[in-house]
């Protein structure tokens, strides 16, 4: 598994049934079964070709009945599980998948999300459909920053700061988050050196860079 996948795997709690939605290769489901963290796993992907990789990897578990595979758009064709993971897709698509799962009563008690973009949108939407944010933090893996969001069914209310940056990043300031903020400030400051930039835009960027300094 890659560093990104290992960090995600570490956040999935032990459970009886686990679903990896948009699984592609199926590495996480395989590790869940191999490690005994789950008793049974479901792998699903919208692409038959992608799912074939997971089917090959999980062949022994499919044979002994501990794993099932489904071609599925989000949770559509997937039986309800105790925990589920959606990783490696954009936040807008993730929110659409969750919206349909809510309508079809497929939402699991525990949800681990790793959106590639638009994490704020995912946070807001997850709380709207009845999740509480347990952990929400940035990791650096393979030289890239990723958000990992761990949710449990329950009530929650997000502050503006938590929505923008992630709750755990605000309360614990993990190293990767601070590094991301430093990089962000550096980028903003270098943009402001452009001669073609208007004074108004420059002022907005400088203000944002100033605001981010408190997280470094
Ligand atoms: C970049 S891969 C991520 C694989 C894995 N989850 C990970 O994090 O490494 C994205 C996968 O999402 C699948 N996918 C895209 N849209 C989907 C949808 N609406 N429902 C299910 N799978 C989808 C793609 O076919 C692809 O296999």
Domain membership flag for residue 174: no
Model's pTM, two decimal places?
A: 0.96
Query: DSSP of 54-68, one letter per residue?
Result: HHHHTHHHHHTTSEE
User: Tens digit of pLDDT for each residue in 162-172?
Assistant: 999 999 999 99
Expressed in angstroms and rounded, the spacing between residue 90 Cα and the centre of ligand 1 is 9
Structural domain boundaries, residue 107: 3-168
Q: Which atom of ligand 1 is nearest to the CA of 22?
A: 22
Domain membership flag for residue 173: no
Question: Do 26 and 83 reside in the same domain of the chain?
Answer: yes
Q: What is the pLDDT of residue 195?
A: 87
User: Tens digit of pLDDT for each residue in 15-63?
Assistant: 999 999 999 999 999 999 999 999 999 999 999 999 999 999 999 999 9
Question: Do 197 and 164 reside in the same domain of the chain?
Answer: no
Give the chain's domain count.
2
Expressed in angstroms and rounded, the spacing between residue 171 Cα and the centre of ligand 1 is 31
Q: Give mean pLDDT in consecutive 10-residue pieces for the chain, a chain of 216 residues.
A: 97 98 97 98 97 97 98 97 98 97 96 98 97 98 98 97 97 97 96 90 94 94
Question: Do 107 and 209 reside in the same domain of the chain?
Answer: no
Decide: 20 and 26 in contact? Cβ < 8 Å.
Answer: yes
Question: Do 37 and 77 reside in the same domain of the chain?
Answer: yes
* Alpha carbons 174 and 177: distance in angstroms, whole number: 5
Q: Whose CA is nearest to atom 9 of ligand 1?
A: 88
Q: Residue 79 is part of a domain; what is its CATH number?
A: 3.40.50.150
Question: Do 190 and 154 reside in the same domain of the chain?
Answer: no
């Amino acid at each position: 598994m890659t560093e990104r996948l290992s960090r995600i795997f570490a956040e999935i709690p032990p459970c009886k049934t686990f679903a990896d939605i948009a699984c592609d290769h199926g590495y996480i489901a395989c590790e869940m079964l191999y490690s005994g963290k789950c008793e049974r796993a479901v792998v699903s992907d919208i692409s038959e070709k992608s799912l074939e990789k997971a089917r090959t990897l999980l062949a022994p578990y499919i044979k002994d009945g501990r794993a099932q595979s489904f071609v599925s758009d989000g949770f559509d064709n997937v039986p309800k599980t105790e925990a589920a993971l959606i990783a490696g897709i954009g936040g807008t698509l993730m929110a659409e998948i969750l919206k349909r799962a809510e309508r079809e009563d497929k939402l699991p008690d525990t949800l681990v999300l790793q959106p590639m973009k638009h994490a704020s949108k995912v946070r807001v939407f997850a709380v709207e459909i009845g999740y509480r944010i347990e952990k929400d933090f940035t990791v650096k893996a393979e030289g890239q920053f990723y958000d990992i969001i761990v949710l449990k069914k329950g009530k929650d209310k997000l502050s503006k700061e938590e929505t923008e940056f992630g709750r755990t990043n605000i309360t614990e300031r993990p190293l990767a988050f601070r590094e991301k903020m430093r990089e962000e400030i550096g980028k903003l400051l270098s943009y402001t050196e452009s001669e073609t930039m208007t004074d108004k835009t420059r002022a907005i960027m400088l203000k944002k860079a100033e605001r981010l300094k408190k997280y470094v």
